[in-house]
Structure 1
Amino acid sequence: MLPHSVLPPAAEAKARRGGLIAAIVASFLTPFMGASVNIALPPIGLEFSLDAVTLGWVATAYILAAAVFLLPFGRLADIIGRRKVFIAGLASYTVTSILVALVHNGGQLIVMRVFQGVSGALLFGTGMAILTSIFPPSERGKVLGLNAAAVYIGLSIGPTVGGVITDAWGWRGIFLLNAGLAFFALVVVLTQLKTEFQECKGEAFDLKGAIVYGLALCALMLGFSELPDNIGFILLVVGAGGLAAFVWFESRIQFPLLSVKMFRHNTVFAMSNAASLINYAATFAVGFLLSLYLQFVKGFSPTDAGLVLVAQPVVMALISPWAGRSADRLGPRFLASLGMAISAIGLAMFIFIGNNTSMVYVIAGLVILGAGFGLFSSPNTSAVMGSVERRQYGVASATLGTTRLVGQMLSLGIAMLLFSLIIGHVRISGAVQDELVSSLRVAFAIFTGLCIVGVFASLARGTGVPVPPPPASPHRNIKSST
């Protein structure tokens, strides 16, 4: 909460209002785009003649770039100002979304998705940290619940709107629409949010750690895509070794990119992030896989496929605000763990999916999965942000965002690995629908197992009651900018 000695009540209220609107719009952007692009992948693949694995990289390139830069940008935001970084993210996201819509081949598309992911990283590590900074702990769960609801609303309308846009104007319209939304959020920030947050001003930025961390993540993801070839195993070993070196280095410098102590001595923080990684690894590829299933196996149009997939995020959006408010009273452990268990049930239903599976069965699985994810996300986020000091909000937010993105990379990595092993490097079409269904069944079996492990990780956090931050240091740097 902003101290009244720094900002007058009217300015504080305006900062909260502007911060909430901007963060909600920014949180809406990425899931809306992701859900829309999932629906548009089959037309993109047809236009650019992309095989199954390369088509997966259209989605993965964005996530990999965002994961590589999210943690460094979160730390940078704590040092130079979260508002500055947030503004830079919205501006660059607007530009890169327009550029994605102008590409002429698959290679250009993947490259521009990388740049769009870098822009997204500027947003992921700052929006939630700004919300946590300007609202008091007593309102944290409610506000984060609203923020999570924006995410799920984006997921909800993404498949439908994306399908309609793709059918009517082509897939490029999706990116142009995202550019417009990002520009609107930029205007809101510039006109409403005049408060800057620099609670680590003057501290050094760990450039070496950022480089090692980024290269290690790239090696891991490239390794997944190259399995079972020898180069895939080599890259996985290099990536794992790079992450181990990163952790060792971070524990020995004064101003680390990521404080290892946050994991060693804070069980709630460590296990909540672990639960987040597992949950996203188990659930993120569902939309990607079912979009291919509905269009290539069931013969649905992008619009019709979007109408089916909308079932999951609608339930998420309905449950998430209630789960966030309940976490303020009950603590996140029970709700998040229950959500993970329900998600496992929904995923298990898709293990039995086939060519003749009814849409009632598919929608029922999506509803159950949506209910589980809605119960998990807001309480888990509240646990992470409530377990650290105010000065660590940027890094904590970026760390949680990174676990989500790494989980998403693993989820898509598992899908692409199975495509490589079962389908091969061929275009997805009706001719390989049996192989596609087999890939889906194996993927959902793996995801179900991951989610079951995630239940125990969620329970291992302990009571999970959010810890109020200590009184603000008289030296913390929160100011009104003009």
Structure 2
Amino acid sequence: MARSPEKTSPKAALAVAALTTFMAPFMISAVNIALPAIQAEFAVDAVVLGWLANAYLLATGVALVPAGKIADIYGRRKIFITGILVFTVATTATAVMPSISWIILLRILQGMGAAMTMTTGIAIISAVFPPSERGKAIGITVSSVYIGLSVGPFAGGLLTGAFGWRAIFLINAPIGAAALLLAALKIREEWADAAGERFDVAGSLFYGVALVCLMYGLSILPARLGLGLLGGGALAMGLFIRHELRTAFPVFEVRLFRQNRTFTYSSLAALINYAATFAVAFLMSLYLQYIKGMSPEAAGTVLICQPGVMALFSPAAGRLSDRIEPAAIASAGMALTAAGLAALAFLSADTDIPYIIVSLVVLGLGFALFSSPNMNAIMGSVEKRHYGVASGTVATMRLVGQMLSMTLATLAFSFFIGSAQIAPPVYPRFLEAVTLCFAAFSVMCAGGIYFSLARGTLHSRSR
């Protein structure tokens, strides 16, 4: 493994990782605010508009694990810097595109660039920080995600209102340029712990087909095509696993799931937690505006308390997991998350706003306590040569969990409301769907406590 003479400053690496981790969620949440303005300019239907989000998610999901393996083989610094460049150029170019087709194509490139930075950023942090400080660094990086999610809607609304939706993409140019310059100058080492291995092209293709079929199939349920795609995705995933177990240099070390209990259970806990929490903002935004009659600005002010608490407490939770067993902290976080979701399952038309805020704060605190220690447990449970793959796995679990969360919400609306628009006559059924989702999410988190507790210990082993 080749390394340059100078060591990388951990603080500099953390600063770059935090900045790049902020960019992607900021863009996602800011663009969501601008969707009506984009639709008005290009006169597209809701399905085409939905691909602005879906194309990004699918591209990110498909590229995550292969990008992690390529980084492990050829160098994480190279892939990290390339990812920043691709994301920045694609995002900036979107601001001048004349058609929705070009914008969707650039969203795919954005997703690929984001995958390259996601899968290498945490891996670089894990490499430059000693195990005794890794949790703190991961906590700060994770909090950047929530800061991006918190700032995005507010900044996106201001930029769209003052300068138009294209300003959201243009604002990324100086942020991306700063991250690129900082990474090129301050990250001086190269990490290629799997150097010499061959890249598994066939496994990557199986993985990509499986993930596209599964994620797209979930998004269009209960349509027959959705069921067919889920079946095809399951078949492709089976072929992927079979291939990975037989090849000498797999793109993803499936044996990690069979041989590493901490890695397996931590990954499953992450999937469950994201599946139970991602749709909360979506559901609560509709509840606050339709049932409580709040304006979008007022609803956003209430909802910002959840990611705000996440951003505030994630660094502390990560730092705590350096001294206390991550499983204990993450399990407590999962339990608090379940409690917050259970409280929201009792929402009614007369629920007071303070009750809602307290429930969201409990939910945010629970997620903060879970996320950073869980990531610390995953990265601490694998060898250095698997850092890229492990980081990519966590990001994949996040994306699949997010899709599952939105699918459950969509299915609940289909069952209770059908094709009717959300209007006063269907408010009672809408409220039933919302509370059922929160109850189901709470039960999921309660079950996730088992995987979080049963993952085994981390601090007792040599790292």
TM-score (norm 1): 0.87
CA-to-aligned-CA distance 1:11-43 (integer Å, 9 cap, x gap): 32x542332111110111122223333444555
Query: Who is 2:73 aligned against?
Result: 79
Select the residue among 162, 174, 183 that pairs with 1:168: 162
Q: What amino acid does structure 1 have at the position aligned with 2:25? A: P
298-307 or 85-94, larger mean C-alpha shift: 298-307
For 1:108-257, what aligned pairs fall within 5 Å after superposition?
109-257=103-251
Q: Which residues in structure 2 correspond to 1:324-473 (within 5 Å)?
A: 324-423=318-417, 436-465=430-459, 467-469=461-463
* SS of equivalent residue, structure 1 residue 195: coil
**CA distance, structure 1, for counterparts of residue 44 and residue 292 of structure 2:** 21
AA aligned to 1:129 is: A
Q: 1:55 to 1:382 in 2, by over 3 A?
A: same
Indicate if the aligned counterparts of 1:327 and 1:335 stay in contact, CA closer than 8 A.
Answer: yes
Q: What is the alpha-carbon distance in structure 2 between the residues aligned to residue 430 and residue 34 of structure 1? A: 30
Among all aligned residue pairs of Structure 1 and Structure 2, give the percentage whose two residues are the same amino acid.
48
Match status 1:314 vs 2:308: yes
In the TM superposition, residue 377 of structure 1 has moved relative to its aligned partner by 0.7
- Alpha-carbon distance change, 39 to 123 in structure 1, aligned in 2, over 3 angstroms: same
Deviation string, structure 1 residues 159-203 (Cα, Å, up to 9, x no partner): 333333344334433332234322221111112212211121221
Contact 1:164 1:302 in 2 (8 A): no
Inter-partner Cα distance in structure 2 for 1:433 and 1:160: 28
- The whole-number CA distance in structure 1 between the counterparts of 2:252 and 2:211 is 15
Deviation at residue 86 of structure 1 after TM alignment: 0.8
The 1-side partners of 2:235 and 2:227 are apart by: 12
Per the alignment, residue 298 of structure 2 pairs with: 304
Q: Which residue of the partner structure matches residue 476 of structure 1? A: none
Deviations 1:333-389 (A, max 9, x none): 111011011111212233233455443233222111100000001110110010111
Number of equivalenced pairs? 463
* Contact persistence 1:159–1:310 (CA under 8 A): no
| Worse overlay, 450-459 or 164-173 | 164-173
Distance 1:55 1:414 in 2: 21
Distance 1:427 1:376 in 2: 36
Unaligned runs of 5+ in 2: none
User: Bigger CA drift: 326-335 or 300-309?
Assistant: 300-309
- The structural deviation recorded for 1:248 is 1.3
Q: Deviations over 1:377-415 (max 9, x none)?
A: 111011001011111111111111111111112222323
Question: Which residue identity is paired with 2:344?
Answer: F
2:251 counterpart letter in structure 1 = L
Give the structure 2 partner of residue 479 of structure 1: none
Query: Which runs of 5 or more structure 1 residues have no equivalent in the other structure?
Result: 470-482
Check whether the contact 1:39–1:306 (CA below 8 A) recurs between aligned residues.
no
What residue number does 1:275 align with?
269
Aligned-pair Cα RMSD in Å: 2.8
Q: Which of 7, 11, 17 is the matching residue for 1:17?
A: 11
